[in-house]
Amino acid sequence: MKIGIVGAGVAGLSSANRLRSAGHEVHVFEANDYVGGKLHSFETAGYRFDAGPSLFTMPQLLDEVFHEAGRNPRDYYTYQKIDPACHYFWEDGSNFEAPGDTDRFAEAAAQTFGVDASRLRDYFERSAEIYDITEDVFLKSSLHKLSTYLKSSTLRSMMSLHKARIFSTMHAVNADLMKHDKLTQLFDRYATYNGSNPYKAPGTLTVIPTLEHRWGTFLPEGGMHEISKSLYKLALDQGVVFHLGDSVSEIVLDGKTAAGLQSKSGSYSFDAVVSNADVVPTYKHLLPNTKLPQSIARQERSSSALIFYWGVSKEFEHMGLHNIFWSEHYKEEFEYLFEKKELHSDPTVYVNITSKYVAEDAPEGCENWFVMVNAPHVAGQDWEALREKARSSILSKLNRILGCNMEAYIACERVLDPPGIESQSASHLGSLYGSSSNSRFSAFLRHPNFSQKLKNLYFCGGSVHPGGGIPLCLLSGKIVSDLIS
């Protein structure tokens, strides 16, 4: 088959490589002059920054793409395990360096927080069990195909689904199992990995910690952008044709069948079309005569992000690759994000510093700080005012906890807000993960990986099943490839 793919994000690159490995002719159209979607990088004033995703887990899913092509992934990219996995800082002066594996995490947390280590081990065992129950059905298969429900593995999963605590909230499960405010907060944060609210999202999301602690946290040599660059190189080696800087204006239909693409450079005929673009703009702009399903239009959007890229003229030895500075008003922070569509005056601050492991990412004696707070999606806010408010709040928190005048060390700065995310990546309303997972039925309500109205039209990426984040986008590309092939 001759297949056209709209978008060269992680999911688009994953599906392109898998489809090419299966023997299809594949063309990828990307409006930008670079690949990776949100997963790209930039340099300024001697500092290099990964612009988007900063967490790499489950590298085996990335390796799979290369193995399917008969290639050695180590010929394309290498990575190292990060330990400690994350550094946590609270306003009361306490901090915790979280080891990267479950046993050492349990022991370290027991010493730091004065809890029984067995409680943590039980939690991780539960998390791993939920993953094993849901993996085949919810992550690796189409939830919208009857054949999925006829598999024996699906039946086994459904019979065990009660163990996933689907009728409790993530926070309720964490509070019940942790019985410690700081540990509950620590594990509630995993809801933000798919842009959700732990006080509303189902207990099923307690599966997320297993992605980080069961296998570990990693960083590719050279930074996160090496993931998309390696997938791009593999695709070129396999003969995938790329049309960079060539934006698609329409998915061409022949009756009720996707038959091609109209791009800036011309018209192209295809046997199947895959959209790696956000599903809402796909319907609005590329399928103008096809209505967006109301079930998708009604879904609550995920959170977005406000990111400050700071070149910092100082090294902070007690910080690591991943760092969290906690809000003292965590529940209120999510109420602001999802109900008021505002930023709280005391946000939780995430700081990623790749120069801790990639020396070339910053000048000697300096660090590249990717500073992020969770933000609401675009809803008519005054983002200039919100940027200033957030910057002031972030600096105040860092100054208090780190005991310094942080602004004095900022040598250069760039800012990316939700409107910028929307314009750069065509993510509807700047949402990072499409719809939120603030409902127990969210997994079933995400848009399927194929059109239920148009033949030969498929969807992959963070806005459709199985969801956002690098591992799920890689799996999204696999599902599409399996459906087509």
Predicted local confidence at residue 146, as pLDDT: 64
Give the integer Cα–Cα distance in Å for 12 and 26. Answer: 11
Q: Which residue has tokens 């972030």?
A: 394
Residue-averaged pLDDT of the chain:
93
CA distance 39 to 347: 24
Q: To the nearest whole percent, how much of the chain has pLDDT over 90?
A: 84
Give the C-alpha distances (Å, rounded to integers) separating 252 from 158, 215, 247, 447: 39, 43, 14, 20
155 band by pLDDT with thresholds 50, 70 and 90: low
Q: Furthest-apart CA pair in the chain: how many Å?
A: 66
**Among the ranges given (210-214, 382-386, 412-416), the one the predictor scored with the smallest mean pLDDT:** 210-214
Residues contacting residue 236 through CB under 8 Å, at least 6 positions apart:
242
Strand 457-459 to strand 410-416: parallel, antiparallel, or no bridges (unpaired)? Answer: unpaired
Instruction: Choose between 431 and 212: higher pLDDT.
Output: 431
Joined tokens for residue 42: 């930039």
pLDDT at 213: 87
- According to the model, what pLDDT value does residue 191 have? 95
**pLDDT in the model for residue 161:** 60
- The single-letter DSSP state of residue 402 is H
Residue 166 has pLDDT above 80, yes or no: no
Closest alpha carbon to 187 in 372, 179, 333: 179
> Taking a C-beta distance cutoff of 8 angstroms, is the pair 18, 182 a contact?
no
Residue 25 to residue 20: CA distance in whole angstroms: 6
| pLDDT band with cut points at 50, 70 and 90 for residue 154 | low
Distance CA 429, CA 431 (A): 6
* Cα torsion 75, 473, 423, 381: sign: negative
* Helices 59-68/10-21 angle, 10° precision: 30
pLDDT of 157 strictly over 70: no
Beta bridge partners of 242: 28
Contact 225, 50 (CB under 8 A): yes
- In this structure, are residues 242 and 236 in contact, taking their beta carbons and an 8 Å threshold? yes
Place of tokens 């998708």: 296
For residues 70-85, give the mean pLDDT.
97
- The mean pLDDT of 89-117, rounded to a whole number, is 96
**Which residue do the tokens 């990639």 mark?**
358
Cβ 462 vs Cβ 472: under 8 Å: yes
- Is the model's pLDDT at 297 over the cut of 80? yes
Alpha-carbon radius of gyration of the chain: 22
pLDDT category of residue 334 using cuts at 50, 70 and 90? very high
Instruction: State the pTM of this model.
Output: 0.94
